[in-house]
Amino acid sequence: MFPTQDEISAWLPDLLGGLSISLQVTAFSLLIGIPLGLLLALGVLARSRWLQVISLFLVEIGRGAPALVLLQFIYFGLPTTGLTLGSFSAAIIALAWNTGAYTSEIIRASLQSVAHGQREAAEALGLNRFDELRYVLLPQGLRVALPALLGFSILIFQGTSLCFTIALPELVSRAYEIGSTTFRYFPALLAAGVLYAAISIPAALLVSHVEKRAGLYAQR
Amino acid sequence: MNAADLLPLLRGLTWTVALTAGAFFIGAVLGVPLLAARRSRLWLLRFMAMSVIQIVRAIPPILWLFIIFFGLGMGVMPISPFNAALMGLGLIAAANLAEIYRGAVASIHFGQWEAAAALDLGRWSTFRDIVAPQAFRVALPSAASYLIGLMKETAVASTIGVAELAYQGNQLSQLTFRGLEVFALVGLFYVLLSLPISWLSRVADGYLRAKVAR
Q: Which element (helix H / strand E) includes B17?
A: helix B3-38
Q: Is A167 left (phi over 0), alpha (psi -120 to 50) or beta?
A: left
Angstroms from A34 CA to nearest CA on chain B: 20
Q: How many domains does chain B have?
A: 1
Listed in sequence order, the residues at least 6 apart from A171 whose beta carbon sits closer than 8 Å to its beta carbon are A15, A18, A19, A21, A22, A160, A161, A192, A195, A196
Q: Determine phi and psi for B121, rounding to 5 degrees.
A: -80, 145
Numbers of helices and strands, H then E, in chain B: 10, 0
Chain A residues with CB-CB distance to B177 below 8 A: 80
Q: Report d(CA B130, CA B117) in Å as an integer.
A: 11
Give the amino acid at B133. Answer: P
Q: Report d(CA A128, CA A126) in Å as an integer.
A: 6
Q: Report d(CA B77, CA B88) in Å as an integer.
A: 15
CB B102 within 8 A of CB B37: no
Is the pLDDT at B106 greater than 60? The verdict is yes
Task: Suggest the residue from B66, B92, B175 to mutate for an interface test with chain A (most A CBs closer than 10 A).
Answer: B66
- CATH number, domain containing residue B104: 1.10.3720.10
Give DSSP secondary structure letters for A161-215: GGGGGGT---HHHHHHHHHHHHS-HHHHHHHHHHHHHHHHHHHHHHHHHHHHHHH
Residue pLDDT, tens place only, A78-133: 888 888 889 999 999 999 999 999 999 999 999 988 888 998 999 999 999 889 99
CATH of region A5-219: 1.10.3720.10
Q: Which domain holds residue B162?
A: 3-212
CB B147 within 8 A of CB B24: yes
CB B11 within 8 A of CB B168: yes
Put simply, the answer to whether A73 touches B190 (Cβ < 8 Å) is: no
Residue pLDDT, tens place only, B56-91: 999 999 999 999 999 998 878 899 999 999 999 999
Task: Suggest the residue from A23, A78, A80, A171 to mutate for an interface test with chain B (most B CBs closer than 10 A).
Answer: A80
Domain ranges across chain A: 5-219
Give DSSP secondary structure letters for B107-151: TS-HHHHHHHHHTT--HHHIIIIIIHHHHHHHHHHHHHHHHHHHH
Put simply, the answer to whether A193 touches B59 (Cβ < 8 Å) is: yes
- Note whether A109 contacts B: Cβ–Cβ < 8 A: no
pLDDT in tens, chain A (220 residues): 788 888 888 899 999 999 999 999 999 999 999 999 999 999 998 889 999 999 999 999 999 899 999 999 999 988 888 888 899 999 999 999 999 999 999 999 999 888 889 989 999 999 998 899 999 999 999 888 999 999 999 999 999 999 999 999 999 999 999 999 998 899 999 999 999 999 999 999 999 998 888 766 655 4
Q: What HEC string does A19-73 produce?
A: HHHHHHHHHHHHHHHHHHHHHHHHHHHCCCHHHHHHHHHHHHHHHHCCHHHHHHH
Q: Report d(CA B44, CA A139) in Å as an integer.
A: 42
DSSP category for residue B78: -
